[in-house]
Structure 1
Amino acid sequence: METTEKQGDLLDKEKRLLHYDILRILAAYLIVMLHLSVQYINKAPDSVEGYLQWQQAVKFSAASRVGVPLFVMLSGAFLLHSDKEVSLSAIFKKYLPKLIIIFVCWSFFYSLAEQNFFYHVPQWGFSRSWQAVEWKVFWPYFIQGHYHMWYLYMLAGLYLITPLLKHIAAQASRTQLIYFVLMCVLVTAVTKMNEVLWHLKIVDMFLEKLSLGFFLGYIGYFLAGFLFRQHRFGWKLSLVVFALALEAFRFTYQETWRMNPMFGFREPSLIYFSNYSPTIFFMSFGVFLLFAKLDFLKPPKPIQQGIACLPQYLLTVYLLHPFIIDWCRRLDWLFPTVQANSLPINGVIVFAVSLGVSIILVQLYRLPVRLIRLVFRTPKC
């Protein structure tokens, strides 16, 4: 009877948090689309038709920029919640060691991939391909990690301050948390905009003297995730957030168009596409708050089970998808980039392939673990 009750409680919890599982899946897809969009928007079009397609691709790319912030907000929503115990001991014995192992394994993989190791193995064989690796190039690349693995470094930094942030989150009122998040948006956005756009020495002077570095970076997203999950927002305040998000999206793509007129650039200026841009902050807040309010969703049970099982594979999808993008291009599985509407379709293709391969990889990893547990399982008396 007790076991049945526990299973029922778990099912209720899964139903209650299903909206966050859907948000995780959406965020992973958006990150895939973001990295695919580079080929669509980073080259100046050479015709009027090409420029119109470029403008449409900028819209898709702008929408995809919320993917990483949503993942950071989801981490904050759960790690900072009161039902999650995150002690200093757990950070250094569980979270950071796991992150280091993931980084080492995947950075080794991508350091080989960068030198076309996996492409050469079928042609040359493993031994010759291994001998062809340039180790002087390999090790600096390994330490830095592939371009998308900056996320693991950033996540490690957030882990280090999570025990302190949990105390802030537990004691602060909703008003104080909103103030904290807005301070993060303000300090981060002003610092970023002055660095890449304004170049005002007086702003640099004030920022240096105020010493508000604690509010810089992704900490605002991290705490915002907790804020939107923990505190109920009425519809009036929610509508303000949604309106800001929509206006931020419109401003992002229209201002990008304005800064990059037809035949007026070689490489586009994408200042407002940064995760530190105020527009990306507000777009991310709007999307997260929308899904936080979808806790009433109750699709059929098979769909619930399907959605609930996917998030466990999404970190692998994130780590794997740049490699899948490269191979899909080599195999000519993707639609041409001349039409902007192919971007979300290519995103679906790469996401689906990445998810399928990730499921296989995770199951292959779990199989020996299960066998070891089966062999050494203590029989019940």
Structure 2
Amino acid sequence: MQKTKYFMYLNAIISSFAVVVAHTITNPVQLGVSTTKISFYLLLCIVLGIIFSYGVPLFFMQSGANVLNYRDRYTTHVFFKKRIHKVIIPFILWSILGFFFIYGKEGFPLTIKNFCVAFLTGNIVGPYWFFYNIIGFYICVPFISLIIKYGSTNIIKYTIFILIIVNTGIPIINILFNTQSSFGTSVPFIGPYAQYFIAGWYLNNVNIAKKNRLRIYSLAIVMLLFEIVATIYFSFFVKHIPMLNYPDGIVKTFYDIAMFPSFCVMCALFLFLKQLEPKLSSEVMRKNLKKVAGLTFGIYLIHPFIIVWLLNPFNQIFLQLPLIVKMLIDPLFVYCLSSLIAMIVRKIGLLHWIVP
């Protein structure tokens, strides 16, 4: 039986909150902030976007830590049955709801063909992009779990190393030389984030010596500063470089979670939270962590609907308040309301398929 690690509940809580922050107050255009010149609010959006980009990677790492040793607990058949019930069915059901209440709100025709196209391309509910990656990972879990179960620590580290090279190193080479390498298709893992899942298992199950933890933390601080400085520099002082991603005028390439700097930061954060485990000793704290963490998947599912339908009406109440106040209360409003709805839905017996 796998021992409960309460820092994983803390992971789930802060990752879901980070996702809400990223989707509410890190887009300057959405906040009405000009991106043509540097300003306090523009820099604040950039820094918050970089800092709170850890939400989905932490979720990936937690997923890897939880499922890659599933063979010690149940069969592959049971593994897929659980994933279908807990992830795939809610994803499909909420995508159908999103097709009518988010995709349809944009004025697109609500036809079966449009649903199929939008569903397959991930265009129904934008934040649901992570489902496609995590489902791809689940498809690979049966053979990745064999590496975990029967491979040595060095083999597991080698696997992570190869994924880092393919998923974070080659994209940088492509940027530097304006090329498109074909090497990425040769690694038998689905998606550009597989390194997070395996690194999550590794950091959760392998004891990292103190000196190595300090090295990881130091590297993460350097990488975080690099992300911030490089993003600002290439957004405002070096424009229109081929291969860079400039949505709304802001370069997102350097803090993209598929890149090596972000990977270093996420690993350090996961490791730091793991080191908090002995401090989560209070029975009351553990009970509350478990209870709140149980709502996090519902928050992932529900918060896009709150943002689309209720955030603007909510903000009409605070039109006279400074933008900084709005940036403080918007994520809290979306997070708390999403949590409340998830809690209510979970208490309705027949709706457990929607929010497991």
TM value normalised by structure 2: 0.83
Indicate yes or no: 2:173 matched with 1:187. Answer: no
Match of 1:253 among 219, 228, 244: 228
Q: What amino acid is aligned across from residue 357 of structure 1 in structure 2?
A: I
The reply to whether residue 353 of structure 1 matches residue 331 of structure 2 is: no
| 2:176 paired residue number | 198
Shift in CA distance, 267/359, structure 1 to aligned 2, threshold 3 Å: same
Looking at structure 2, the residues matched to 264 and 44 of structure 1 have their Cα atoms a distance apart, in angstroms, of 19
Q: Corresponding residue for 1:363?
A: 347
| Sequence identity (%) | 19
| Range with greater deviation from structure 2 (98-107 or 83-92) | 83-92
More displaced 10-residue stretch of structure 1: 333-342 or 62-71: 333-342
Mapping for residues 13-32 of structure 1, pairs under 5 Å: 14=4, 17-32=5-20
Superposed CA RMSD in Å reads 3.4
Identify the residue that residue 270 of structure 2 maps to in structure 1: 288
Match in the other structure for 1:53: 41
1:79 correspondence with 2:67: yes
Taking structure 1 as reference, are residues 366 and 172 closer, same or farther at Cα in structure 2, changes over 3 Å only?
same
Among residues 146, 161, 165, which one is paired with 2:140 in the alignment? 161
Q: Output the CA distance in 2 between the equivalents of 1:215 and 1:40.
A: 32
Of 232, 243, 246, which aligns to 2:218? Answer: 243
Match of 1:327 in 2: 309
Structure with more relative contact order (C-alpha pairs < 8 Å, separation 6 or more):
1
Number of residues of Structure 1 aligned to a counterpart in Structure 2: 340
1:99 aligned partner, one-letter code: V
Residue 378 of structure 1 is matched in structure 2 by none
Separation of aligned partners in 2, 1:75 and 1:368: 20
Q: Structure 2: how far apart are the matches of 1:62 and 1:338? A: 23
1:96/1:368 Cα in 2 relative to 1: closer, same or farther (>3 Å)? closer
1:318 paired to 2:306? no
Larger radius of gyration: 1
Q: What's the CA shift string for 1:262-299, capped at 9, x where partnerless?
A: 79786212112322111111111000011111120135
Would the alpha carbon gap of residues 259 and 338 (structure 1) be closer, same or farther in structure 2, given more than 3 Å must change? farther
Tell me what 1:372 maps to.
Answer: none
CA distance in 2, matches of 1:333, 1:356: 19
Letter in 1 for 2:205: Q
Q: TM-score normalized by structure 1?
A: 0.78
- Unmatched 5+ residue regions in structure 2? 241-247
The AA in structure 2 aligned to 1:347 is P
Query: Equivalent residue for 1:220?
Result: 195
Q: Distance in 2 between matches of 1:357 and 1:148?
A: 18
CA shift at 1:171, angstroms? 2.5
CA pair 191-249 structure 1, distance change in 2 beyond 3 A: same
Bigger Cα displacement from structure 2, 167-176 vs 329-338 = 329-338
Closer/same/farther in 2, CA of residues 262 and 368 from structure 1, 3 Å limit: closer
**Secondary structure class of the residue paired with 1:276:** coil
Q: Report the CA distance between 1:303 and its aligned residue.
A: 2.8
Letter in 1 for 2:34: P
